Amino acid sequence: MPDVLLLPGDGIGAEIVPEAVKALKAVGKRYQIRFRFREALIGGAAYDACGHPLPEETLRLCEESDAILLGAIGGPKWDNLPVELRPEMGALLPLRKKLGLYANIRPALLFPALIEASPLKPEIVSGMDLVVVRELTGGLYFGTKKREFVDNGDEQAIDTLVYRTGEIERIGRLAFQMARKRRKKVTSVDKANVLESSRLWRDVITGLGREYPDVQLEHMYVDNCSMQLVRRPTQFDVIVTENTFGDILTDEASILTGSIGMLASASIGGKVALYEPAHGSAPDIAGQQKANPLATILSAALMLRLSFGMEEGAQAIEAAVRQVLDEGYRTADIMQPGKRQVTTAAMGDLVADRI
Amino acid sequence: MPDVLLLPGDGIGAEIVPEAVKALKAVGKRYQIRFRFREALIGGAAYDACGHPLPEETLRLCEESDAILLGAIGGPKWDNLPVELRPEMGALLPLRKKLGLYANIRPALLFPALIEASPLKPEIVSGMDLVVVRELTGGLYFGTKKREFVDNGDEQAIDTLVYRTGEIERIGRLAFQMARKRRKKVTSVDKANVLESSRLWRDVITGLGREYPDVQLEHMYVDNCSMQLVRRPTQFDVIVTENTFGDILTDEASILTGSIGMLASASIGGKVALYEPAHGSAPDIAGQQKANPLATILSAALMLRLSFGMEEGAQAIEAAVRQVLDEGYRTADIMQPGKRQVTTAAMGDLVADRI
Ligand SMILES: CC(C)[C@H](C(=O)O)[C@@H](O)C(=O)O
Ligand SMILES: CC(C)[C@H](C(=O)O)[C@@H](O)C(=O)O
């Protein structure tokens, strides 16, 4: 009995997570699997309830579970707390680190039914199907931080960008292995003309590349990559990069598909993996049944695939999502003239029905 | 007699810089100003000639001049030199630092005649007119770098991201002042939910904002900004950000206009300012008279405006560029059906003629 921990979190989290549960239950019914669902608090919701955004109890339940489904965290309400109590620094980053989730996998796939929603011209975005493999527990996010006064009375703030061979190797391998199952191309993104960490990154990835002679490896500077993504997104298959660059490039890649409300992500590498939509907590539309649950539902599909090896179940969810879109159902964020607008819950029901 | 130092540099640099000189000479003729042009080596070209990418002599000429016009530097030929001899780390970064060029101003403006060249849908990109003000002599680019072996035999590489109050203040002021002359909006981009340097950045910019109550200030996370640029580029007026984020966002913003071969930049803050096209040295098309000289020509216009206070001359160049485009002349990179393709030199002549 696979044990799934639900972490709805903040904002629209409480609305979208239940819709993914419907999909998992539908898959369970079709393939005779019983999931066990437990739920815990995280982020601002946890802070409000018990004074800390990542309660001990939540961490324990995470470690005990077989997979975690997260909604979203954060919101203006908690932005002025001391840094270590904010949802991001107090919950999300420590959770990633403690669970050893060193790889964030974010597919950016164009849904043909939604091509009109892309800000890019159809001829440029058509066929876009890439995955960003982002290093998630190293770099600037986790290096030493400091704030101090200096001689002239100025304040000075310091962040440190650190990478070790081993950290680069394990994320690199993951990217090459993923490329093998796809179109066999890896683009490694760095700023090796300026950063020492990028030069180490490039050395290690180049070395690894020799072990995967069947995969085409190219190196690209991050500034050029942010340009190439817009210019010709179809040139990419698997992009692998460090934490901060990955943060920037995944958001950019997502919007190109026109449907950030549609994109799933998986954070893997440890004993238990964490699945979450690529979008945020959208406090402005929370509680209004306007949120698009499809990214969370597709994250559940990723969970079936990557944590439970249930490829069939994953495909059943993905096919159901495509079908619902083809039938013309849309949430507000992807609404287009001539389509039928539905609520968060209605969208979840439609997908579950078709599984 | 304004003294302009020409640094053609590498790749297409030697083809595009002379075209900007033609434009400056045409302005000189029309407004009775005599420019003095001197030329020096930089980048790979300098390395090849005298063993260092930034010769003493070049630095001296830079310091003596009233403004510098740079073509582009770098190329695969020099990518395997020791870091400190490569064009980027050995010439460009030290030059910025030594001349105190702490601000890189990069306008990303859509030329209506080129709207078809944008990867974005016309209705999204139409009206795009923003400036990125990038901090240029701080952050990861100039912090301490280290590579060392650690206990388990792994190599470890470290870069350091440092900012001081004073550095943030001076670039912030510049952005607010620029916004005052434009649409009065500043978007300050950081990653304050993770980085200590970003939190200092946000504090300082927020404080400054109170001195410019007529300018609307908003803060945006860098990941969101890289998404919003594509989603709705017209929402931005002036973007101000630190060095690395600025590097990534300027390239992204440039391509949205569809004409990176058209975009100028100015690096200012010291006694003498440096002007250069936003694009690189394009070694693949060097020596073929295919390069687009308009970005360099428009950089010369920026020089007239910012270094010499010659607004009329700047506008004369800008108007000539628009006219040549309206007449249908195009270099290869912006060629469209029904237009007339011309060489680098022919484009330069056309613009000079119309000044
Ligand atoms: C909330 C923030 C700390 C986080 C990150 O930067 O990693 C988010 O942007 C993401 O991409 O998951
Ligand atoms: C060549 C490189 C060091 C440089 C930078 O990153 O600053 C370039 O990308 C730029 O934007 O001027």
- In this predicted model, what pLDDT tens digit does every residue of A17-66 receive, in sequence order? 999 999 999 999 999 999 999 999 999 999 999 999 999 999 999 999 99
Instruction: Inform me whether the pLDDT recorded for B142 exceeds 90.
Output: yes
DSSP single-letter state for residue A103:
E
Residue B259's pLDDT band (cuts 50, 70, 90): confident
Measuring from atom 7 of ligand 2, which residue has the nearest CA?
B247
User: Comparing C-alpha atoms, which of A93, A98, A181, A101 is closest to residue A135?
Assistant: A101
User: Comparing C-alpha atoms, which of A204, A29, A124, A244 is closest to residue B198?
Assistant: A244
Please give the residue of chain A at the shortest CA–CA distance from B116: A121
* CA–centroid distance, residue B104 to ligand 2 (Å): 11
* CA–centroid distance, residue B131 to ligand 1 (Å): 26
CA distance A260 to B77: 40
Phi, psi of A339 (to 5 degrees): -100, 170
Residue to probe by mutation, ligand 2, list B10, B78, B92, most atoms within 8 Å of CB: B92
Helix B196-209 vs helix B165-180: crossing angle, to nearest 10? 50
Instruction: Inform me whether the pLDDT recorded for A315 exceeds 90.
Output: yes
- Which chain B residues are within 8 Å of A253, Cβ to Cβ? none
DSSP single-letter state for residue B120:
B
- In this predicted model, what pLDDT tens digit does every residue of A154-164 receive, in sequence order? 999 999 999 99
Give every strand in the sheet of B155-164, ordered side by side: A145-149, A155-164, B155-164, B145-149
Return the structure tokens found at A56.
């001990």
Catalytic residues of A: 141, 191, 223, 247, 251
Helix (H/G/I), strand (E/B), else coil: B107: strand
Task: Tell the burial category of A317 from Cβ atoms under 10 Å away from its Cβ (0-12, 13-18, 19+).
Answer: buried
CA distance B317 to B330: 17
- In this predicted model, what pLDDT tens digit does every residue of A174-190 receive, in sequence order? 999 999 999 999 999 99
Helix (H) or strand (E) holding A295: helix A294-306
- Among A158, A162, A252, beta carbon nearest to B227: A252
Instruction: Inform me whether the pLDDT recorded for A258 exceeds 90.
Output: no
- In this predicted model, what pLDDT tens digit does every residue of A225-240 receive, in sequence order? 999 999 999 999 999 9
CA–CA min distance A313, chain B (Å): 32
Residue A259's pLDDT band (cuts 50, 70, 90): confident
CA distance A131 to A80: 34
Q: Is the CB of A79 under 6 A from ligand 2?
A: no
- In this predicted model, what pLDDT tens digit does every residue of A79-115 receive, in sequence order? 889 999 999 999 999 999 999 999 999 999 998 889 9
Instruction: Inform me whether the pLDDT recorded for B261 exceeds 90.
Output: no
| Pairing status of strand A145-149 against strand A155-164 | antiparallel
Dihedral of alpha carbons A270, A272, A277, A282, sign:
negative
Return the structure tokens found at A301.
């599909």
Return the structure tokens found at A51.
């004074």
CA distance B92 to B99: 11
DSSP single-letter state for residue A99:
T
What is the CA B87 to chain-centroid distance, rounded? 16
Average pLDDT over residues A252-268: 93
Dihedral of alpha carbons B56, B59, B63, B66, sign:
positive
CB contact (8 A) between residue B121 and residue A120? yes
Chain A, 261 to 280: residues with Cβ < 8 Å from chain B are none
* Mean pLDDT, all residues of chain A: 96
Task: Tell the burial category of B337 from Cβ atoms under 10 Å away from its Cβ (0-12, 13-18, 19+).
Answer: exposed
* Mean pLDDT, all residues of chain B: 96
- In this predicted model, what pLDDT tens digit does every residue of B182-237 receive, in sequence order? 999 999 999 999 999 999 999 999 999 999 999 999 999 999 999 999 999 999 99
Average pLDDT over residues A327-350: 95
Per-residue model confidence (pLDDT) at position B260: 84
- Which chain A residues are within 8 Å of B222, Cβ to Cβ? 247-248
Identity at B21, one-letter amino acid code: V
Interchain contact A147–B (C-beta under 8 A) = yes
Residues in chain B: 355
Q: Tokens 């290869």 — which residue?
A: B332
CA distance B116 to B114: 5
CA–CA min distance A190, chain B (Å): 11
Helix (H/G/I), strand (E/B), else coil: B280: coil
Chain B, 199 to 258: residues with Cβ < 8 Å from chain A are 199-201, 222-224, 226-227, 229-232, 244-245, 247-252, 254-256
CA distance B175 to B165: 15
Question: Is there a contact between A39 and A245 (Cβ–Cβ < 8 Å)?
Answer: no
B98 catalytic residue (yes or no): no
CA–CA min distance A27, chain B (Å): 33
Dihedral of alpha carbons B300, B303, B308, B309, sign:
positive
Interchain contact B318–A (C-beta under 8 A) = no
DSSP single-letter state for residue A270:
S
Question: Is there a contact between B108 and B268 (Cβ–Cβ < 8 Å)?
Answer: no
Contacts made by residues B21-24, CB under 8 angstroms, sequence distance 24+: B21/B69, B21/B300, B22/B348, B22/B349, B22/B351, B22/B352, B23/B297, B23/B300, B23/B301, B23/B317, B23/B320, B23/B348, B23/B351, B23/B352, B23/B355, B24/B300, B24/B303, B24/B304
Q: Is B192 annotated as a binding residue?
A: no
Residue B106's pLDDT band (cuts 50, 70, 90): very high
CA distance B230 to A2: 40
CA distance A272 to A68: 7
Per-residue model confidence (pLDDT) at position A283: 93
Interchain contact B305–A (C-beta under 8 A) = no
Angle, CA of B132, B71 and B332, to the nearest 5°: 85
DSSP single-letter state for residue B114:
G
- Which chain B residues are within 8 Å of A197, Cβ to Cβ? 157-159
CA distance B97 to B92: 9
Residue to probe by mutation, ligand 2, list B79, B84, B86, B88, most atoms within 8 Å of CB: B88
Percent of chain B scoring above 90 in pLDDT: 94
Spell out where B200-333 has E strands.
216-221, 238-241, 264-268, 273-277, 329-330
Residues 6+ apart with CB under 8 A from B295: B16, B260, B261, B262, B263, B264, B277, B278, B279
Kindly list the distances between the CA atom of residue A91 and the CA atoms of A84, A86, A178, A295, in Å, as whole numbers in the listed order: 8, 7, 29, 21
Per-residue model confidence (pLDDT) at position A261: 87
- Which chain A residues are within 8 Å of B149, Cβ to Cβ? none
Residue ranges of the annotated binding site of A for Mg(2+) are 223, 247, 251
Return the structure tokens found at B22.
């033609």
Return the structure tokens found at B83.
């870091």
The domains located in chain B, with CATH, are 1-107+261-355 (3.40.718.10), 119-256 (3.40.718.10)
User: Comparing C-alpha atoms, which of A93, A96, A125 is closest to residue A111?
Assistant: A125
User: Comparing C-alpha atoms, which of A159, A114, A168 is closest to residue A141?
Assistant: A159
**Which of B73, B96, B194 to mutate against chain A (most A CBs within 10 Å)?**
B194
Percent of chain A scoring above 90 in pLDDT: 94
CA distance B174 to A199: 33
CA–CA min distance A164, chain B (Å): 4
Task: Tell the burial category of A323 from Cβ atoms under 10 Å away from its Cβ (0-12, 13-18, 19+).
Answer: middle
Interchain contact A160–B (C-beta under 8 A) = yes
How does B284-321 read in b/e, with b if 16+ C-beta sit within 10 Å? ebbeebbbbbbbbbbbbbbbbbbbbebeebbebbbebb
Measuring from atom 1 of ligand 1, which residue has the nearest CA?
A88
- In this predicted model, what pLDDT tens digit does every residue of B63-86 receive, in sequence order? 999 999 999 999 999 988 999 999
CB contact (8 A) between residue B249 and residue A226? yes
Question: Is there a contact between B200 and A159 (Cβ–Cβ < 8 Å)?
Answer: no
* CA–centroid distance, residue B217 to ligand 2 (Å): 27
Chain B, 74 to 103: residues with Cβ < 8 Å from chain A are 74, 83, 86, 88-89, 93
Helix (H/G/I), strand (E/B), else coil: A298: helix
- In this predicted model, what pLDDT tens digit does every residue of B281-314 receive, in sequence order? 999 999 999 999 999 999 999 999 999 999 999 9
